[in-house]
Structure 1
Amino acid sequence: MSLDGWNTVLVLGGIRSGKSEFAESLVAGAPAVRYVATSTAGGPEDAEWTARLAAHRARRPGSWTTEETADQPRRLADVLASAGPGETLLVDDLGGWVTVLLDPAHQPADDEATVAELAAAVRDTAARVVLVSPEVGLSLVPTTPLGRAFTDALGAANRAVADACDAVALVVAGQPVWLKPVAVPRTAEVPTRRSAAANGASGPVAAAETPLPTVLTPGTSAPATAGTGAGGDWAAPTMALPMVATGLVIQAGMELPMPDEDAGGQAVDRLGTLDVPGAGFGTLERVVTFAAATQGTANPTPWTTVRALLLHGDHTGGAAAGSVPGDSSRRAEQARAGAGPLARLAAEVGATLQVVDTPSSAPMEQEPALGGAAVESALRYGWRLAEEAADAGVQLLVLGACGAGTETAAAAVLAATAGAEAPAVLGRVYTADGQIDDAAWMVRCAAVRDALHRTRNSPRDARDVLAELGGGDVAVATGVLLGATARRVPVLLDGPVGLAAGMISRDLAGQVRHWCLLADHGGQPAVRLAADVLGLTPLLDLRLDLGEGANALAALPLLRSVLSLAAALPVRPRLGGGPDSEDEPDFTEPEPAGPGPTTTHPESGGRAG
């Protein structure tokens, strides 16, 4: 399900338009779905309606739960109002709800008030909600009073709910068109300092426009400002893997693409010929070779289309000891609104930003962090996030995360996959006022210890580690890495979650690490160890700690500059370069400088005298 920037979606469509199937595809990646059925069951005299309901039930995965509201129309608003922030609801459909609403046996005192209550519940719900409704505005005016009453009531309900929803889609002949995408936040005015000379005197600060990152619309590959229609469906099957009815088949030992090593080697040779006054690019030479190998050319170009993925998901129990309650949600919403370090840096470098909610993880010391079915859904969801980025022409993914207990989960993954000790890979815990919290750090270490003891007899394959220790954010991140590798999209890692996903992905596809680049270790011991195991040497040692994803975006301009310089510089003049020459000259065999044969012609037969 597309989870960037919206909570509620209304899916409209005509009869047999495919609206229900499209709505179901939007929630296919959710770990658990509550299906809210609004229509009454068909009686024995209406076999066709009964068959339709049976077909709907058969399509639902076994992990979904069903809730009936047909007998009490007012109850639908209560269900939405009581749903929590971690829940996903699919309401199908409002046509059945209006039918019951108009039934004299169930009709409340005021139909319009009931519709208004439903719209208010949609607007205020904390859950992710997709609602399905028939579109009656394009049909003929019914010839009966009852038919006209139905279309009038449903049309009013559709308008009210559409106004309350974050996004609205219309499905025609199975093709979705987004009518109401999420709008890009308006450019904010923030105070900036100006000198006394500029102001004429010391006085109030002036306002200046600050750039905001491009916000993506749900289910589309284009930004909201582009005005385009719907893009690729994330629930659609991929051609990169074998398919079964449930979607992707992600299994151990997958054969995914490798970067072009020959192109990387040729790029190294080319760098040695460039006309630079010093010794060259130093450590950043690896940026050029990485870009060359992943782009398949000896002269790579800078990444112009970049997408930052921020995975938001909390871990509960001892893993989150010392975390401020609700702080991760605040930062995720801050990023969606274009504020905070990650959003500001994304705007500066021209990257699109996508905030993705992942399943919350249970206390690892007491029970599995995530159920087996939820792990599969999270892996497929991450894969489709990467596919959607590739379809949009993204040349580089930046992978970051925010959430309570993410460092602890990464430490547990490292302990299970690399034999690390929790105290050695868990960074210090800081309070809200910047003080070191040793007590919380010890609780986190104990949580990892107890989780490892609880799972001491469990297998250590990728899925088991994700289910027992990694949780939702690490599982989605693993899927992102696998999908990006399958689509040949390089990934700039930043923070423990991405590195933990890299460790787990080794069992699923060993090619993944060759598509990953680490800009800075951020001074985090878990990142240092995982990078060492994966063979990812950090390019920089700036020890930035701006939040996952933000550190990589801060370093991105430098990496782009190196690629731009390497692509634009000519070769040295003595090798045939000049003002207009940027191509490497053909190699010429040098003449021997000492004793030896002066010619290779067999008829010569002589030697230098």
Structure 2
Amino acid sequence: MSVDGWNTLLVLGGVRSGKSEFAESLVVDAPTVRYVATAADPTDDDAEWAARIAEHRSRRPETWHTEETADDPRRLADVIAAAAPHETLLVDDLGGWVTVLLDPVHQPADDTATITELARAVRGCAARLVLVSPEVGLSLVPTTALGRAFTDALGTANRAVADACDAVVLVVAGQPCWLKPTAGPTSPAGTGPDSTRVAGTGSGPTTAAPTTDTVPAAGPPPVPAQGAPAITGTPADPDGTPWAAPTMALPMVATGLVIQPGMELPMPDEYAGPQAVERLATLDVPGAGLGVLERVVGFAAATQGTPVPAPWTAARVLLLHGDHTGGATAGTPAGQSARRAAQARAGQGVLARLAADGDADLRVVDAPSSAPIEDGPALDAERVEAALRDGWRLAEEAADAGVRLLVLAACGAGADAAAAAVLAATAGAEPPTVLGRVVTASGEYDDNAWMTRCATVRDALHRTRNSPRTAKDVLAELGGGEIAVATGVLLGATARRLPVLLDGPVGVAAGMVSRDLAGQARHWCLLADHGGHPAVRLAADVLGLTPLVDLRLDLGEGANALTVLPLLRSVLSLAAALPARPSDDPTGAPRPDHDTSGGEPDDDAPEFAEPEPAGPGPTTTEPAPDHAGWRA
């Protein structure tokens, strides 16, 4: 099963039912598609069949790669079985495949064995696979022996392939009807606990709240009753543009989503961001513009895919609570993180109040607890996989609920030391340079606790000096539960085109780990403030994230982000609502370094002439005007 409910799908339908068009729509957003054509080439005396094949070819994007199996129908099973996990295959169709299989050229042939071999290949296929086939079970029994042989063989093939596929859809008059699996019941919005417990966290009490949703249990999400599963439940703008729609297919196994290195996740729109910044130069403002906050407009435009981005009206804060043990928690009072999490659940404390003031939904996520990293792995491999998938599902749930911005926060004991260990392993940093000072409840520095944390990270790095440095190995050995969940959130948010506001060491450590799984993830992240934290400073430099503000707040991870969120919304609202500068405004000259013509250059404008220097040196010794507030 995959992120939208299936990995292998059989699309059935009658003649001219729209089955092929529907199948093509399911894979149109995949980075690359291998189109497997099964039908034989048309003969010179069959113009109608030639026209049908030409119609199919004309619909295929130029980026698709076509592969034909008409010369050897047995090769279809080999193509499917050899497909890599990152590939997407579209087979159109099994009717043509059976026709070639029954052709006298390929006789004698064991049709039953060949169909069984095909079903086995479909069942074990690692790639995203969509197969198209005519449904012949509703027609009359043919009056010819050849016709009956075709319907019998195709019916057998359809049954075998349908049994092997994760999902089956029947297209009738252009309307898809899902046959397998049927849509399951869903919990009504607005009910469920206010804290989410992810895999491996044990049990614990939660408090009911009427304004939150329940995260689905592990396993495939239900497939919708109608329509393409890629867009079901996706909120849309008034103009119909979907928000946070799935854009890719990922390999699956029986246990669920497979998160692996080299995933091809979507990138933000490369044109919308620069267009939005250029548009700012045409707005009717009395001063030099938005300064560094132009980057917020450009980021929002790129992630929303429009030059006029909308404010992030729906935001959700994910507070990750997962404690470490051992020396990583030196200087942390016992039970402090649990008290912070309980405060947030009750709507109290700094983060909850800031979230309420910023009209943001706050969710407390109990991540798996982590073992002492100086003695052994923080988590085992299975719990890392589960934590990554749970984080992905948290992002998917937010996207389906209409959330347009995620804010990552954390309150786990020992999280700072774990993040420092991750940075040391992924960026080659020395532990003392990325570990923040330990401050006691009375506001004093506890240097003994700080040295204990440094020694803990040093010992953990020494223990793992010969271990692999892959993303999952780093999470298992050093990162632990909350960083693994945060990494899954970043990956899932990227897949659903959902921007993430980072603030603190756990979020940036997850950003560092996510680079090896999907390098696109960092482009969907915005850093609110480094907060003076050395780990955040280093990770921001490596990830290419420039903090928006420099408030130096120290109210817990996520507080800076919620503090600046109203400012970011105001900037986006202003950029979207301000009118363009009047063309006849005598004071409305374009600002430096901005081309506001919006079209062809004025032929009547005088040509620019380079002034002749008065001597061998510059023409003036006056300092250049300060344009620091303008964007080049």
Q: TM over 0.5, yes or no?
A: yes
Q: Residue 243 of structure 1: CA displacement?
A: 1.6
Paired letter, 1:309: L
Question: For the structure 1 residues 218 and 433, does the alpha-carbon distance in structure 2 shift closer, same or farther, using more than 3 Å as the test?
Answer: closer
Which residue matches 1:589? Answer: 601
Paired letter, 1:285: E
Question: For the structure 1 residues 543 and 490, does the alpha-carbon distance in structure 2 shift closer, same or farther, using more than 3 Å as the test?
Answer: same
Q: Indicate yes or no: 2:457 matched with 1:433.
A: no
Alpha-carbon displacement from aligned partner over 1:377-404 (angstroms, at most 9, x marks no partner) = 0000000000000110110000011111
Question: For the structure 1 residues 574 and 428, does the alpha-carbon distance in structure 2 shift closer, same or farther, using more than 3 Å as the test?
Answer: same
CA distance in 2 between counterparts of 1:391 and 1:275 reads 37
Instruction: Kindly report the root-mean-square deviation, in angstroms, between the aligned alpha carbons of the 2 structures.
Output: 2.8
Identity, in percent, stands at 71
Q: Residue 367 of structure 1: CA displacement?
A: 0.4
Equivalent positions of 1:381-396 (< 5 A) are 381-396=390-405
Which residue matches 1:472? Answer: 481
Paired letter, 1:554: T
Q: Residue 577 of structure 1: CA displacement?
A: 12
Ranges in structure 1 where 5+ consecutive residues have no aligned partner? 1-171, 184-214, 579-583, 597-609
Q: Is the 8 A contact 1:570 1:577 kept in 2?
A: no
CA distance in 2 between counterparts of 1:390 and 1:528 reads 29
Which residue matches 1:413? Answer: 422
Question: For the structure 1 residues 398 and 577, does the alpha-carbon distance in structure 2 shift closer, same or farther, using more than 3 Å as the test?
Answer: farther
Q: Indicate yes or no: 2:220 matched with 1:236.
A: yes
Which residue matches 1:319? Answer: 328
SS for the counterpart of 2:373 is coil
CA distance in 1 between counterparts of 2:280 and 2:586 reads 13
Question: For the structure 1 residues 266 and 538, does the alpha-carbon distance in structure 2 shift closer, same or farther, using more than 3 Å as the test?
Answer: same
Q: Is the 8 A contact 2:432 2:454 kept in 1?
A: yes
Which residue matches 1:292? Answer: 301
| Equivalent residue for 1:525, pick from 534, 541, 544 | 534
Equivalent positions of 1:345-384 (< 5 A) are 345-384=354-393
Question: For the structure 1 residues 577 and 562, does the alpha-carbon distance in structure 2 shift closer, same or farther, using more than 3 Å as the test?
Answer: farther
CA distance in 1 between counterparts of 2:563 and 2:218 reads 29
Alpha-carbon displacement from aligned partner over 1:317-369 (angstroms, at most 9, x marks no partner) = 11110000000000001000000011111111111110000011111010001
| Equivalent residue for 2:315, pick from 299, 306, 309 | 306
Question: For the structure 1 residues 320 and 273, does the alpha-carbon distance in structure 2 shift closer, same or farther, using more than 3 Å as the test?
Answer: same
Which residue matches 1:146? Answer: none
Which residue matches 1:118? Answer: none
SS for the counterpart of 1:361 is coil
Equivalent positions of 1:219-298 (< 5 A) are 225=210, 235-237=219-221, 240-298=249-307
Alpha-carbon displacement from aligned partner over 1:394-452 (angstroms, at most 9, x marks no partner) = 10000011111111000000000000001101010011211110000000000010000
Question: For the structure 1 residues 249 and 576, does the alpha-carbon distance in structure 2 shift closer, same or farther, using more than 3 Å as the test?
Answer: farther
Question: For the structure 1 residues 526 and 576, does the alpha-carbon distance in structure 2 shift closer, same or farther, using more than 3 Å as the test?
Answer: same
Paired letter, 2:251: P
CA distance in 2 between counterparts of 1:381 and 1:216 reads 13
Q: Is the 8 A contact 2:328 2:456 kept in 1?
A: yes
Which residue matches 1:164? Answer: none
SS for the counterpart of 1:517 is strand
CA distance in 2 between counterparts of 1:563 and 1:299 reads 9
CA distance in 2 between counterparts of 1:257 and 1:173 reads 28
Q: How many residues are paired up?
A: 386
Q: Is the 8 A contact 2:324 2:415 kept in 1?
A: yes
Paired letter, 1:286: R
SS for the counterpart of 1:508 is coil
CA distance in 2 between counterparts of 1:356 and 1:231 reads 10
Which residue matches 1:400? Answer: 409
| Equivalent residue for 2:552, pick from 526, 536, 543 | 543
SS for the counterpart of 1:261 is coil
Ranges in structure 2 where 5+ consecutive residues have no aligned partner? 1-181, 199-207, 222-245, 588-595, 610-632
Equivalent positions of 1:567-578 (< 5 A) are 567-574=576-583
Question: For the structure 1 residues 255 and 324, does the alpha-carbon distance in structure 2 shift closer, same or farther, using more than 3 Å as the test?
Answer: same
Paired letter, 1:342: L
Paired letter, 1:421: E
| Equivalent residue for 1:341, pick from 329, 350, 354 | 350
CA distance in 2 between counterparts of 1:486 and 1:576 reads 45
Question: For the structure 1 residues 304 and 218, does the alpha-carbon distance in structure 2 shift closer, same or farther, using more than 3 Å as the test?
Answer: farther
| Equivalent residue for 1:505, pick from 502, 505, 514 | 514
Paired letter, 2:219: A
SS for the counterpart of 1:280 is coil
With the length of structure 2 as denominator, give the TM-score of the two structures.
0.58
SS for the counterpart of 1:450 is helix
Q: Is the 8 A contact 1:520 1:551 kept in 2?
A: yes
Paired letter, 2:392: W
Equivalent positions of 1:105-124 (< 5 A) are none
Alpha-carbon displacement from aligned partner over 1:446-484 (angstroms, at most 9, x marks no partner) = 001000000000000100000000000000000000000
SS for the counterpart of 1:433 is coil
Q: Residue 374 of structure 1: CA displacement?
A: 0.5
Q: Residue 592 of structure 1: CA displacement?
A: 3.5
Q: Residue 236 of structure 1: CA displacement?
A: 2.5
Which residue matches 1:202? Answer: none
Q: Indicate yes or no: 2:457 matched with 1:448.
A: yes
With the length of structure 1 as denominator, give the TM-score of the two structures.
0.60
